[in-house]
Amino acid sequence: MFDIQEIRSQFSILDQKVNGKPLVYLDNAATSQKPDSVLTTWERYYKEINANVHRGIHTLSQLATEEMELSRRKIQKFINAKHDFEVIFTKGTTEGLNLISYILTQKLKKDDEIIISYLEHHSNIVPWQLLCERTGAKLKVIPIDEQGILQLDVFDSFLSEKTKVVSVNHVSNALGIVNPIEEIIAKTRKNTDAYIVIDGAQSAPHFVIDVQKMDCDFYVFSGHKMYAPMGTGILYGKQHILEGLPPFHGGGEMIATCSFDGTTYAGLPFKYEAGTPNVGGNIALGAAVDFILRVGQENIQKHENALLEYAQRKLLELDGIKIYGEKANRTGVVSFNLEGVGIASDVGMILDKLGIAVRTGHHCTQPIMDFFNIAGTVRASFAVYNEFHEIDLLVEGVKKAQKMLS
């Protein structure tokens, strides 16, 4: 049974008031709130176990190691990775993408090509630009149409023997558009031997991920968008690919032997986990997976899709509302502007006075905003704990903003 009140009762932060109004938290694409079970797990680590992992024979170190490796195995099953050592702990999606772009440096040469899309977060643009600067490779960008949908016929024309990397997001953080990842991967496999990288920051919280079925080479996502602490994330990579690529950071944990004459590297996953990890956060990420699975991924997807459909319908009942990607397949996000209101942040500030938290601006996707010739949007994004009456409050707040700013 899907009991929204029981779910909300697990998020203590939602009980507070902001500016004298009940908090309506609709900024989940930036970061989700954390259930008590995740916070308790994190707190328990520091109160009862706190010790470094993999490095001690004493009891606390052994307990910490067992808990963190259990979390790794939970995440392995969550994304259906073939092996637990294909799951690398990171600080988040940004670090994962930077890691991949760095370790691929030796695999590219001048005039090779990297394909990304217009829908990417800056974190899936800048690392590839840096890789192009290091290697002389060229960046090609899949365009979008007026609905924000990728133009795959142009993608087809890009694919060639020069294509060495294809890196796209599963879901757009700015518009909520769900990209046809399976089709993109199939086209890539048919025409090239390029590495396929998927930014899953906005998909992992919302629906089932199966990296083996998907057949991507890398998949990255962040913990803080899926009910886990900030500073946590995952890089999945296929075993044979990770084993054949160089390390990212050097230091403790990632070595097999170290001397002044040279160093040999540890096996997976430790080859890519140099230094002391975020042990408490990584363990809490496993607790977040437990929470998602208890609620049920299909339940979450169904509820959030219903919220999105309701929000779009109610907003479009107002005059002067422009929703971006209105007719595209979307999840979790409605991104909009008010006609005649030049600055989205003005709307956001009025909503905040009403206790409603939304995100305004370019959402680290300036190319999308340039395409639509706007400075930014108002973005409301949903999580499992949001309710339909909160959308009603959002719509009433937008009405008030229209009156105040017109």
Domain identity same for 71 and 168: yes
d(CA 252, CA 271): 10
- From the list 132, 216, 258, 364, the catalytic residue is 364
pLDDT at 323: 98
19: in domain: no
Tracing tokens 């500030």 back to the chain, one arrives at 349
367 CB burial (10 A radius; 0-12, 13-18, 19+): middle
Of the CA atoms within 13 Å of residue 323, those in its CB half-sphere come to 21
Looking at the domain assignment, is residue 5 inside a domain? Answer: no
Domain boundary among 293, 325, 360: 293
- Residue 240 sits in a domain whose CATH number is 3.40.640.10
Catalytic residue check, 258:
no
Query: Is 11 among the domain residues?
Result: no
* Assigned token pair, 86: 């294909």
Confirm whether 177 is domain-assigned: yes
54 within a domain of the structure (yes/no): yes
* Contact in structure between 176 and 333 (CB atoms under 8 Å): yes
pLDDT of res. 341: 85
Residues 323 and 257 in one domain: no
Burial of 111 (0-12, 13-18, 19+ CB in 10 A): exposed
- Block means of pLDDT (10 residues each) for the chain, 406 residues, are 95 97 98 98 98 93 98 98 98 98 98 98 98 98 98 98 98 98 98 98 98 98 98 98 97 95 97 97 98 98 98 97 97 95 92 98 98 97 98 98 92
Give the pLDDT score at 177: 98
Dihedral-angle region of residue 197 (phi above 0 means left; psi in -120 to 50 means alpha; beta otherwise): beta
Identify whether residues 112 and 213 lie together within a single domain: yes
Range of the domain at 275: 39-293
Q: Is the same domain home to 73 and 92?
A: yes
Q: Which of 293, 328, 355 is the last residue of a domain?
A: 293
Same domain, yes or no: 289 and 361:
no
Do 120 and 245 fall within a single domain? yes
Q: What is the pLDDT of residue 123?
A: 98
Dist CA 231 CA 276 (whole Å): 13
Q: How many domains does the chain have?
A: 2
Q: Is residue 282, in this structure, part of any structural domain at all?
A: yes
> In this predicted structure, what is the pLDDT of residue 271?
97
Cα distances (angstroms) measured from residue 168 to each of 4, 141, 155, 205, 229: 33, 10, 12, 17, 25
| 263 lies in the same domain as 300 | no
Per the domain annotation, does 373 fall within a domain? yes
Residues 318 and 389 grouped into a single domain: yes
* Same domain for 178 and 65: yes
Query: Does the predicted TM-score (pTM) go above 0.95?
Result: yes
